[in-house]
Amino acid sequence: MSRTYDLVHRTTYSYAHTVTDSYGRTTMTPRDVPGQACVASTIEIEPAPADTAAHVDYFGNRTTYFGVTTPHTRLVVTARSTVEVTRPAPDPAALPTVSWQEVARRVAAGEVGRLDPGLVDLREALLPSPHVTFVDEVRTWAAPTFESDRPVVEVLVELAHRIRTELAYRSGSTTVHTTQAQLLAQKAGVCQDFAHLMIAALRLHGLPARYSSGYIETRPPAGRAKLRGADASHAWVSAWVPGAGWVEVDPTNDQLVDERYVLLGWGRDYDDVPPLRGVIFTEGSGSRLTVSVDLVPSGTDPFI
């Protein structure tokens, strides 16, 4: 199924005191990848920046640098994109049946095929990173899934299902600094926590896994119109399956990724692909952040 979306992601910072300079970098432009094409995209910044430049980062993500030198108490960054998605959700039963131990062995031995990702990319996706740590709590939690040498696709499906059923989605229950050990102790988190946990479990067992950042189309209850700004940034997992490439799995919703998802970019963890990061210069302190995201089929006006 092909779907074309209009995407608007707006971030607003309101400051208690005047900011003299603001320098930032966005990762808010969708990637062109198989199954997804970014038809058009713009980044709007208020106040107008004195300097701006587009850049492709180490992972191939499309980023935009900006520098605002006009004194301000409010900064608004708005990304507008039109994206065509033709990505069907793969059928787990149709994916290669290679076992997870065989996948780990191939990566360790450097046995990758001509059509597989590069060995450096695969081994890099095995390493711990700022938000993905190798701790006993994760190993203990993941152990039942890795008890036998089963197909790696079964491992992916089971990990996603366990996260969806064993942990509660609770907005505001974690921060970007929450560890996997803390997540497992409180048994509640949000999508980035669930992605980090699944990535940690896979990497601990020698399986390459990446953090994917983007959006998922939210659908209102039957008979209800969609609220403006109700969508949000989302995170999921990309895991390497020999013969299939990077397979995208959403543990928050216990499903493989399909045409309802729009990919911004990927990295080792959240720290590589935050939508917006930067520094400001001000004599004061205190700020307020608001974010709104709208992802809707092109040509529709479903808002109330």
pLDDT at 229: 56
pLDDT at 240 over 90: yes
> What is the residue-averaged pLDDT of the chain?
93
Structure tokens at 251: 């543990």
DSSP secondary structure, 124-140, as one string: HTTS-BTTB---HHHHH
pLDDT at 302: 47
Domain boundaries, the chain: 3-86+273-297, 92-272
> Which CATH architecture does the domain made up of 92-272 adopt?
Roll (3.10)
Q: Is 38 helix (H, G, I), strand (E, B) or coil?
A: strand
pLDDT classification of 276: cutoffs 50, 70, 90:
very high
Phi, psi (5° rounding) for residue 100?
A: -65, -35
Instruction: Convert the pLDDT of each residue in 18-65 to its tens digit.
Output: 999 999 999 999 999 999 999 999 999 999 999 999 999 999 999 999
What is the CATH code for 3-86+273-297? 2.60.40.2250
Element containing residue 157 per DSSP (H, E): helix 152-166
Instruction: Convert the pLDDT of each residue in 36-46 to its tens digit.
Output: 999 999 999 99
pLDDT at 198 over 90: yes
Q: Give the N- to C-terminal CA distance of the chain in Å, as an integer.
A: 27
- The residue among 14, 185, 206, 252 whose CA lies nearest residue 110 is 206
Task: Name every residue whose Cβ is closer than 8 Å to that of residue 223 and which is 6 or more positions away in sequence.
Answer: none
Lowest mean pLDDT among 107-116, 177-186, 226-235, 253-262: 226-235
- The residue among 80, 85, 83, 84 whose CA lies nearest residue 41 is 80
DSSP character for 102?
H
Element containing residue 107 per DSSP (H, E): helix 100-109
Q: What number is the average pLDDT over the span 209-228?
A: 81
Q: What number is the average pLDDT over the span 272-278?
A: 96
pLDDT at 301: 57
pLDDT classification of 193: cutoffs 50, 70, 90:
very high
